[in-house]
Amino acid sequence: MPVQRSSSSDGAYKVNRKVRVALGNSKGSGDGVRTLRPKSSIVDKAHRKARVATEESKGSSDGVRTQRPKSSNVDKAHRKSRVATEELKGSSYGVRTVESKRNGSKKVSSIGNSNEAVSYVNVNEKPSRDLKSKSSRVQRDLKTKSGNEGFEAVIDGNSGQKRKRIYADPGMVDDRMFHGFDRNSSSKSNNNGVRLYLDKVKKVTRGKVRELKDSSRNTLLTGSNKFNGSEFLDKKIRRGNTEGADKQKHVQENGLGNGTWKTSDKRKTPLATKKDLNQRNYAVGSVEKPRKKKDQGKKSLGADSDLTEGPPPKKKKRVIRIDPHDVSNKRLDDGIANNEVDSLPKVFFLQFLAPPWRWKTRSASSRECFYMIIKMPHILSNKNDNLIQPRQSNEIWRSISIPEINKKHDDLLLFLLTGVRLIILQVFRNKLEFFAAAKISSSFPSPDLPEIAFAGRSNVGKSSLLNALTRQWGVVRTSDKPGLTQTINFFKLGAKLSLVDLPGYGFAYAKEEVKEAWEELVKEYVTTRVGLKRVCVLVDTKWGMKPRDLELIDLMERFQTKYQIVLTKTDLVFPIDVARRAMQIEENFKAKKSAVQPLMMVSSKTGAGIRSLRTVLANVARLVRH
């Protein structure tokens, strides 16, 4: 009696095929099913493994004895299945294919209950048209399993008649299979192949299963109809040992012969409903080629829009790009973005003006690390601290080995430096206050605070730079008319630092003798002032260094006053020209002892380079000992 496949489903059909193979039924036997190996796929591999597992479980006494193919070569498998089919047309039942190379032929054995007929078929021969067509039909049948329709016309490979195939819900089958099947159970004997199969099927269908409504899933899984995976396994293995009528009976009892699970009406109902078909379509469709957006939109307007709506659209990640140049002049945040907090050490932070019990431990920011790093003796010995930029601090931090940092004395150092760092960062947040102006050296205020002076030609942008650094526009007067600043003006930044705005030299709208007096005053200041820590020599990027600039620099070299060259108004020049100018000046000042590297490039108008300059100057303040 040929076994019907009319109601076979995706999952159920796969299982049927597998079970049929396990039973060793042959087409010609009248009670079995032709076993053809489908195209190589995950499921097919799993089938093979399942067969091997089954064979191992019952020994090689009778029933199925399918040798595992040496490779997953598809052609090989096809040839084998064709040979087996041809040979077994006239045999009773049971298939045993054994690969053996003898003059390019394969040994195919069909086994009955006890008799064994062996014949050799030349596999190099092209298969007959009939066989080819049958094979392709079966393959086509397999291919159509992922179609969206709930049913389709199928030409039966055996009878050649048209039949209607209804696909069962693959999710349902999988759910049944997985429920109660303990994947981690210790009873590994004989289960490996099947477990692998289940795993693989589950992998494929996991997405689909999830999408099924809970209600329908519960219907499938609850009550006495609940499928027990281990039970399935036991039956499958036992079936291998069952013979003849027992086998057939077993198949019929379990509903495997007609491609369905033996279930109660209650369980069949959800499969038959329209809703379930929709569900199934959705589930099957979800693993197929994704529909076009347009189609999805159309579908969502339909009756079953609740089932077709996909996952919520992914939010676009906002990418914040940090400009390499400082354009954050108006930003109060002094720290740079800290994306790698985890890689940074936890540091005890001393919070000023807070009682000790409020002092906290937290991860240091990269900027904080920067200050810790540049203070470490072993770093300072190798590098000029001004060469380390805060943005480099993370890299440097990572290059230092952790034990190195975790040394007790280093911890203490970090602790102390962190406190110092807080003072530094707050320096440029302090209110800029004018406190003294001097036309002659005797009028200079007492050098209580460390000083940073800004020198340069008239109209180069000294006063503007002071405003930009402190973000306090208007405190220092500026003008587009050269010669506005005519006295040495002293400004306090809190009680920590003093910034000094010097009168310009060179061309200015002033009398020659007045200009000479300014120049003399400036020279006196840079050579004699106690507490002067650095002189920023401002140079217009467009015009470059002038003889008077060099004159002042020579003087400072002689008196060993530390100075740093700052290119201003970089926004007015093409970047390439800024770079060229910077290189040119740096080359000339390499050999100078009092010159502090690197050369800074700023624009008070756009804020470019202001932050870097702030850091450098804050560092100057940190080095000061009171």
Ligand X SMILES: Nc1nc2c(ncn2[C@@H]2O[C@H](COP(=O)(O)OP(=O)(O)OP(=O)(O)O)[C@@H](O)[C@H]2O)c(=O)[nH]1
Binding residues (CB under 5 A) for Mg ion: these are 462-463, 485
Residue 329 sits in the site that holds ligand X (CB under 6 A): no
SS3 assignment, position 65: coil
Residue 546 sits in the site that holds ligand X (CB under 6 A): no
Footprint of ligand X on 571-590 (CB under 6 A): 571-572
Question: Smallest distance, Å, CB 354 to ligand X?
Answer: 39
Q: Could you say which of 216, 478, 498, 612 contacts ligand X (CB under 6 A)?
A: 478
Residue 460 sits in the site that holds ligand X (CB under 6 A): yes
Residue closer to Mg ion, measured from CB, 485 or 564: 485
Question: Smallest distance, Å, CB 409 to Mg ion?
Answer: 47
Residue closer to Mg ion, measured from CB, 88 or 469: 469
Residue closer to Mg ion, measured from CB, 336 or 566: 566
CB-based burial of residue 512 (10 Å sphere; 0-12 exposed, 13-18 middle, 19+ buried)? exposed
> Which entry of ligand X, Mg ion, none binds 92, CB below 5 to 8 A by partner kind?
none
Residue 605 sits in the site that holds ligand X (CB under 6 A): yes
Angstrom distance (rounded) from CA 163 to CA 3: 14
Please state, as a whole number, how many other Cβ atoms lie within 10 Å of the Cβ of residue 447.
12
Residue closer to ligand X, measured from CB, 38 or 504: 504
Question: Smallest distance, Å, CB 467 to ligand X?
Answer: 8
SS3 assignment, position 192: helix
Question: Smallest distance, Å, CB 359 to ligand X?
Answer: 41
> Which entry of Mg ion, ligand X, none binds 110, CB below 5 to 8 A by partner kind?
none
Q: What does the angle CA 549 – CA 552 – CA 556 come to, to the nearest 5 degrees?
A: 135
Sign of CA dihedral 156, 159, 164, 169: negative
Residue closest to ligand X when measured from CB atoms:
504
Residue closer to ligand X, measured from CB, 25 or 459: 459
Angstrom distances, CA of residue 153 to CA of 35, 75, 132, 163: 21, 28, 21, 6
Q: Could you say which of 458, 489, 498, 564 contacts ligand X (CB under 6 A)?
A: 458
Q: Strands 432-438 and 360-363: what pairing? A: unpaired
Residue 327 sits in the site that holds ligand X (CB under 6 A): no
SS3 assignment, position 438: strand
Q: Which residues contact 198 (CB under 8 A, 6 or more apart)?
A: 177, 178, 181, 183, 229
Q: Which residues contact 173 (CB under 8 A, 6 or more apart)?
A: 9, 10, 11, 12, 15, 261
Altogether, the residues listed in the chain come to a count of: 626
Residue closer to Mg ion, measured from CB, 366 or 463: 463
351-390 footprint of ligand X as x/- string (CB under 6 A)? ----------------------------------------
Residue 462 sits in the site that holds ligand X (CB under 6 A): yes
Distance of CA 186 to the CA centre of its chain: 36
Angstrom distance (rounded) from CA 167 to CA 158: 19
Stretch that binds ligand X, among 256-264, 441-449, 474-482, 546-554 (CB under 6 A): 474-482
Cis preceding linkage at 355, omega within 30 = no
Question: Smallest distance, Å, CB 611 to ligand X?
Answer: 14
> Which entry of ligand X, Mg ion, none binds 572, CB below 5 to 8 A by partner kind?
ligand X
Question: Smallest distance, Å, CB 463 to Mg ion?
Answer: 3
Residue closer to ligand X, measured from CB, 347 or 602: 602
Question: Smallest distance, Å, CB 343 to Mg ion?
Answer: 44
Residue 569 sits in the site that holds ligand X (CB under 6 A): yes
Residue closer to Mg ion, measured from CB, 9 or 485: 485
Residue closer to Mg ion, measured from CB, 46 or 460: 460
Q: Could you say which of 470, 498, 603, 619 contacts ligand X (CB under 6 A)?
A: 603
> Which entry of ligand X, Mg ion, none binds 393, CB below 5 to 8 A by partner kind?
none
Q: Could you say which of 568, 612, 615, 619 contacts ligand X (CB under 6 A)?
A: 568
Q: Could you say which of 485, 489, 561, 619 contacts ligand X (CB under 6 A)?
A: 485
Angstrom distances, CA of residue 414 to CA of 357, 406, 408, 610, 624: 19, 10, 10, 27, 18
Footprint of ligand X on 499-518 (CB under 6 A): 504
Compute φ and ψ for 463, nearest 5 degrees. -65, -40
Residue closer to Mg ion, measured from CB, 24 or 456: 456
Footprint of ligand X on 417-456 (CB under 6 A): 456
Angstrom distance (rounded) from CA 246 to CA 337: 75
Stretch that binds ligand X, among 197-205, 461-469, 488-496, 579-587 (CB under 6 A): 461-469
Residue closer to ligand X, measured from CB, 568 or 619: 568
Residue 461 sits in the site that holds ligand X (CB under 6 A): yes
Give the residue among 541, 549, 543 at the shortest CA–CA distance from 599. 541
- Where is 194: in which H helix or E strand? helix 192-211
Angstrom distance (rounded) from CA 5 to CA 27: 13
User: Beta partners for 360?
Assistant: 349
Angstrom distance (rounded) from CA 534 to CA 532: 6
SS3 assignment, position 122: strand
Give the residue among 480, 397, 492, 398 at the shortest CA–CA distance from 436. 492
Residue closer to ligand X, measured from CB, 229 or 504: 504
Residue 541 sits in the site that holds ligand X (CB under 6 A): no
Residue ranges in contact with ligand X by CB under 6 A: 456, 458-464, 478-480, 482-485, 504, 568-569, 571-572, 603-605
